[in-house]
């Protein structure tokens, strides 16, 4: 899983060190785009869910499929109250050797797939993932593929920030990388003179 660390205040890229990926319980990893305040509320809901689950002390724990199902109900419930949580969520995890990856939108639309994205990533990153993702991808190749997607998104989104994190989840737990920047190249002709051929369009 990958995300940048930017957070906007209106149209201003105000914060550049906001972590948007969090481990949930023992088996799940949550990534989010959208309102940071609503993400904080979702994380409070999830803290309560995991605490309640742990209080049973029955040797079992919620897996990613159960957490994803819970999130779909939360998002759809808030949508029905005409007070939605303005986030798109990605929930991944591993439990008992079974991998899981799902997404849910702010109105409760949800699905599972081999790769998912939110926001601009749905339009710009997923075509790359469809072309280059494969089942037996190594971790190193997976990171390169995610970095390629994040680089494309950085080039095409004025609100993106060149500071990303990569997260990995296995049976052993979650590891989230320290923030780092991607190597970029801004000397493309279209970048140097973006208005060529567009005279009169503004």
Entry pTM: 0.91
pLDDT on residue 87: 97
Q: Which residue, 72, 73, 70, is CA-closest to 110?
A: 72
Report the 10 Å Cβ neighbour count for 79: 16
State phi, psi for 104 to the nearest 5 degrees: -145, 140
The number of beta carbons lying within 10 Å of the beta carbon of residue 147 is 16
Measure Cα distances from 65 to 20, 53, 148, 175 in Å: 20, 14, 28, 20
Distance between CA atoms of residues 54 and 195, nearest Å: 58
- The series of mean pLDDT values per 10 residues for the chain, 202 residues long, is 94 92 97 96 98 94 97 98 97 96 97 96 96 95 97 90 96 95 90 75 56
Give backbone dihedrals phi and psi of 186, rounded to 5 degrees, phi first. Answer: -110, 15
Return the pLDDT at 200. Answer: 65
Q: For residues 202 and 196, what is the distance between their CA atoms, to the nearest angstrom? A: 12
pLDDT at position 83:
96
pLDDT, residue 125, reads 96
């Amino acid at each position: 899983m990958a995300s940048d660390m930017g957070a906007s205040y209106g149209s201003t890229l105000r914060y550049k060190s906001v972590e948007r990926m969090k481990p949930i319980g023992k088996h799940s990893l949550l990534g989010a785009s959208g309102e940071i305040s609503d993400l904080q509320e979702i994380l409070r809901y999830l803290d309560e869910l995991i605490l309640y689950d742990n209080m049973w002390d029955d040797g079992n724990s919620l897996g990613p499929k159960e957490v994803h199902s819970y999130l779909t109900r939360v998002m759809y419930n808030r949508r029905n109250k005409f007070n939605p949580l303005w986030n798109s969520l990605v929930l991944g995890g591993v439990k008992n050797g079974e991998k899981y990856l799902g997404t849910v939108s702010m109105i409760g639309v949800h699905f599972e797939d081999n790769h998912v994205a939110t926001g601009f990533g749905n339009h710009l990153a997923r075509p790359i993932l469809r072309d280059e993702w494969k089942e037996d991808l190594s971790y190193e190749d997976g990171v390169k593929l995610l970095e390629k997607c994040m680089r494309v998104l950085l080039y095409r989104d004025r609100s993106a920030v060149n500071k990303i994190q990569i997260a990995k989840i296995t049976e052993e737990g979650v590891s989230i990388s320290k923030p780092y920047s991607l190597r970029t190249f801004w000397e493309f002709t279209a970048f140097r003179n973006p208005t060529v051929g567009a005279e009169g369009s503004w």
